[in-house]
Structure 1
Amino acid sequence: MYISTIVILMAVALSNFIAKFVSSISKTYISLFVGIIFAAIPLVNGYILKFDYEFFMAFIIAPLLFLEGQKTRSILVRRKLKSIIGTAVVLALISAVASLFLVSQLFSLTLPFALILIAISTPTDATAMDSVSEGRKMPRRSEIVLKMESLFNDASGIILLQAGVIWFKTGHLSYARNFGAFILTAVGGALVGFSIAFVIMICRQMIIRTRFNVTHSHLIVYFATPILIYFAAEELKLSGIIAVVSAGLIFNGEMSRSRFSIPRYLSFFNQIVDFIADTMNGFVFVILGLSLMRIVIEGKPELTSTLEWLWIGVAIYLISLVIRYLYAKFGTRYSQIEAITFSLGGVHGAVTLALVFSLVKQGISTHLFNLILLTETVVIILSMLTPTIVFKLILNPIQNQEDMRMNKKLVREKMVEVGIEYVSKLQISPAVKESVTFDLMDQNRNTTLRQFLSQWLGVNSKRYVFTGYQAVEERQILMNAFEEERKYLYDLVDGAALEKAKYIYDVYSELLISESLVLDSYEE
């Protein structure tokens, strides 16, 4: 398990590096390709364990959905409750019923088996959707609805899958019982998530206001929360997915109203959350790439003996696409472009693959399992490739990311010049001036390796380790230089357009962090 996790994390790190060099391709796709390459290398592939559904759902998907929930304001969920129910419940049921009969008739499949195939392709993936629309301006309304749908429709897919498996095994399907089970697990899951998260929030806020507060312990509790809530809900036979999303909504309000109570902790917390979320997103798509490649490597008999899996997968995707378009166009009165983006935005990803592997211990024969696996693989690939191509044709690009990066770089360079110019006019110790100038240049990474090594040797030989008056002088000059840089950014942002203001504020934020590091080193 440990070696397997380390190998996958190395794949995530590698994909992040590659993404910096190949900015024209979404990082999600790069993670997918790296996973494929790792699986194609026998030595590396041998160190990675087989897909574990329970581990994946509890330790990867649950925390990811929890973080997505925390990014979403609960008031937005209340406002969009009608569309959430419409997409996560009504649309899911309409798609399931229509696809069920069409697919079963087209390919002479039994209704229970067809329902299993349809149910697995019900959940949509917000992260995958972001990857296919990256760099393009999505219509705001369809973008919000797609994100809401992906947060809540996993539960619909799981309930439909359970109904399909029971129907497949027993030959009986109770509509009333299954619908009742869905309502119970969804509402019950939401209540469990809200309740546990609320209690944890109250306890944490009480501790924050006492002398017993330990910020690092809060972080441990925070990341353990979605895992514990998921297991608690699943143990009660409720929806663990909806439970963790609901818990995330509770924590969204907490963070926005307690951000200044422990500012250092919240700054550190935000960085850690971004790091964990980015790593887990990469983890998901590396695993997806690994799994897809292993399907090919293992040479499933169904892969070459018949192409039935291909045509079933294509049919499921196209039927779903048409139903989603009709629902958006005529059911919710979306504009043409909103309806198209909504229909194509139903992208499938790792959760769909996870549901396939959840069938391993459900008594499904090897032949049928392989057929399901290959079919859903087609659905996943089509749902990612189709919008990636179409969105580039029909959606306007967001401002060139490379232009934004260059503009930000120019702002930072000019800001650093202002700081260095201020220091150069001062009559101070040469060693202090050299040290401060290097620190200011380092804001823009405008220092060479030779300069760094010179500074490193100076620190180790105590040349740049200042004490007494020189230490106070160094700190004061740095703070004054930062103040000059801030004044420059103030003047620059005044009256600036929104897009320009964004990257100016970004540079300003980094400057404030630099100032806090100077203060921290002084306290030490």
Structure 2
Amino acid sequence: MSSFVIVVAVAISNIIARYIHGISSTYINLIVGIIVGLIPFTNHLVLEFNDKIFMIFILAPLLFFEGQATPLMAVGKRTKSIVNTAVLLAAISAIIAAFVVHQFFNLMLPLALVIVAISTPTDATAFDSVVTGRKFSNSLGNTLKMESLFNDATGIILLQAAITWLTTGYLSFWASTGDFLFSAIGGIILGAGLAFAVVSFRQYFVRSSYNVISSQTLIYVLTPFCIYLLAEMLGVSGIIAVVTAGLVHNSEANRSRFSSPRQMHLGIQLINFVGEVLNSFVFVVLGISLVRIFANQYNTIMGSIKWLATGVLVYVLLWGCRYIYARLWVGDKKRQTASLFALGGVHGTVTLAMTFSISNQVSQYWFSFIVVVETVVIILSMLVPTIVFKFMLPIDVDEQNRPAQLEQLRHGMVEVGIKQIKTMDLSSVVRASVIYDLRDQIQKNTLGSFFKQWGAVTANKSVLTGLQSVEQRRALMQAFDAERDYLYDLAKRHVVNSDVVYEIYSEILLSESLVLDPRNQMI
């Protein structure tokens, strides 16, 4: 029931987001989650946040898909940058921030380190939400995304060390460093080894006559869950293991995409669908959790503003450490670049999951305090760059004009396709059917005309004969050829951006595959 309510909220929020321009869908997901949390009936249907379930069923596949979308070669080229940002920057900034928080608020140093360690991981999805509609340096954006892929493990290891220090009163630097190296390197080795074994197994069947697409897809879907669980059982980083496994699968996809096109196409669509749903799922859950946090911690919130001051200080300190790092070590040492890098360290659901993971390891008072502090850090890290980027970054005009450009191109190609049909010697029934199908490419058929067509098909009044079906298929093929020629000519003359042309061109190919595919049982 919890999943059902959240998935319905995801569907509704993503529809609403289509009607609201200029605001990232992430914020709409967050707002709908808050509304679900505020309504007693829907809030009651959703179970309490469980960090283990969240890490296994939401975060593991998300990180796996993000890793698969990242070329392994790109990671190799950025190894030094990844180590610097995801390990050294994360660790040093956590130590500095923890010491300052300890001094300012007279908190125990281990407790301050717990708070800062939880705030260490950054979130690539949350980062995308704050730069929506703005032009952001590709190089800097890639650096931030690479950092977010790997710094979760650093935050978790720091948190484990801080909890040990807090509960035992003893902290061993070398033991913690050894644990980190074992966890990280072990995660890389395990993730790469298991992924290579899975890839080899799947590729053996892909290149044989025994391949079963449904079984292959199930194995693929289960891969991140199995790797994460096994890594955690063996005491290495499950996060790094699934990211590494995703990187290995990227190379597989690049070199086997034509071995089984249906399987590859299904896999790509599955990644896109599940990734979009899970990203939205994450922020709906975050919205619900924020409502519950403020409701459950009302006394803590109203009793003192120390939590607010601590959250603000932690965010400012982490921002400052990132800014100084960028000025000293990033290749482009301009102030604006450093500010963008610092603001790009957006925190999200990993921080939330880590917060709830310590519920049984600290006292109830300190857990309540940590929860509201981390809530402040998450909100500030999303809100501040969203506002500041509107002044620092130019509007992405190409992205802003893209919908209108796509619509114009679609209208032009459909006109060409219909013109081609009108020159052909076709029966009136076939011509009307084909023109109706072509007009569907630009949603020009009204709801009334759809129900008229649907009624005729249902009543068996417009079913084509065998010869007419062949005639229809050939007519559509010629119309699609004309549309592709139109788009190809525009691309060749550089009238529009190639990626816009490719998007529509691929839609035509998909439409044609529906007509020609002998396995298609819907036509």
Task: Place the TM-score, normalised by the shorter chain, in its bin.
Answer: over 0.9
Take 2:98 and 2:155, find their aligned partners in 1: how far apart are those partners?
14
Aligned to 1:312: 310
Aligned to 2:276: 278
* 1:272 counterpart letter in structure 2: L
Query: Any idea what the Cα deviations from partners look like across 1:44-98, whole Å, max 9, x if unmatched?
Result: 0000000011000001001100000001111111110001000111101110111
Take 2:211 and 2:519, find their aligned partners in 1: how far apart are those partners?
24
Instruction: Say which is worse superposed, 411-420 or 460-469, in terms of deviation.
Output: 460-469
Aligned to 1:22: 20
Deviation, structure 1 residue 258: 0.5
SS in structure 2 at match of 1:371: helix
Take 1:223 and 1:467, find their aligned partners in 2: how far apart are those partners?
42
Q: What is the aligned residue count?
A: 520
SS in structure 2 at match of 1:443: helix
Out of 258, 262, 265, which is 1:264 matched to? 262
Out of 152, 156, 165, which is 2:163 matched to? 165
Deviation, structure 1 residue 467: 2.7
* 1:343 counterpart letter in structure 2: A
Contact 1:432–1:464 (CA<8 Å) still a contact in 2?
no
SS in structure 2 at match of 1:46: helix
522 and 176 in structure 1: CA distance in 2 versus 1, 3 angstrom threshold:
closer
Out of 104, 109, 118, which is 1:120 matched to? 118
Deviation, structure 1 residue 445: 1.0
* 2:257 counterpart letter in structure 1: R
Take 2:466 and 2:381, find their aligned partners in 1: how far apart are those partners?
64
Contact 1:91–1:324 (CA<8 Å) still a contact in 2?
yes
Aligned to 2:429: 431
Take 2:510 and 2:19, find their aligned partners in 1: how far apart are those partners?
27
Contact 1:139–1:338 (CA<8 Å) still a contact in 2?
no
Aligned to 1:104: 102
SS in structure 1 at match of 2:396: coil
Deviation, structure 1 residue 492: 1.4
Instruction: Say which is worse superposed, 174-183 or 89-98, in terms of deviation.
Output: 89-98
Aligned to 1:514: 511
Contact 1:300–1:370 (CA<8 Å) still a contact in 2?
no
Deviation, structure 1 residue 247: 0.1
Take 2:158 and 2:294, find their aligned partners in 1: how far apart are those partners?
28
Root-mean-square deviation over aligned CA pairs: 1.2
Instruction: Say which is worse superposed, 427-436 or 5-14, in terms of deviation.
Output: 427-436
Out of 324, 327, 345, which is 1:326 matched to? 324
Deviation, structure 1 residue 361: 2.4
Take 1:61 and 1:127, find their aligned partners in 2: how far apart are those partners?
11
Deviation, structure 1 residue 341: 0.8
Deviation, structure 1 residue 414: 1.1
Equivalent residues in 2 for 1:167-246 (5 A)?
167-246=165-244
Contact 1:91–1:327 (CA<8 Å) still a contact in 2?
yes
40 and 410 in structure 1: CA distance in 2 versus 1, 3 angstrom threshold:
same
Take 2:183 and 2:36, find their aligned partners in 1: how far apart are those partners?
38
Deviation, structure 1 residue 398: 1.0
Identity of aligned residues (%): 47
Contact 1:66–1:226 (CA<8 Å) still a contact in 2?
yes
Normalising by structure 2, what TM-score?
Answer: 0.97
Take 2:260 and 2:160, find their aligned partners in 1: how far apart are those partners?
45
Out of 84, 87, 90, which is 2:88 matched to? 90
Deviation, structure 1 residue 468: 2.2
523 and 224 in structure 1: CA distance in 2 versus 1, 3 angstrom threshold:
closer
Instruction: Say which is worse superposed, 346-355 or 328-337, in terms of deviation.
Output: 328-337
Aligned to 2:343: 344
Query: Any idea what the Cα deviations from partners look like across 1:16-35, whole Å, max 9, x if unmatched?
Result: 00110002110001101000
Deviation, structure 1 residue 126: 0.4
Instruction: Say which is worse superposed, 263-272 or 166-175, in terms of deviation.
Output: 263-272
* 1:12 counterpart letter in structure 2: V
Aligned to 2:488: 490
Deviation, structure 1 residue 495: 2.4
Query: Any idea what the Cα deviations from partners look like across 1:423-460, whole Å, max 9, x if unmatched?
Result: 12333221111111111111111101111112112212
Aligned to 1:353: 352
Take 2:520 and 2:122, find their aligned partners in 1: how far apart are those partners?
49
201 and 521 in structure 1: CA distance in 2 versus 1, 3 angstrom threshold:
closer
Query: Any idea what the Cα deviations from partners look like across 1:115-153, whole Å, max 9, x if unmatched?
Result: 100100000000000100111111232211101100000
For structure 2, which runs of at least 5 residues remain unmatched after alignment? none
Take 1:341 and 1:166, find their aligned partners in 2: how far apart are those partners?
35
Query: Any idea what the Cα deviations from partners look like across 1:373-422, whole Å, max 9, x if unmatched?
Result: 00000000000011111111111111254421011101101111111112
Contact 2:514–2:520 (CA<8 Å) still a contact in 1?
no
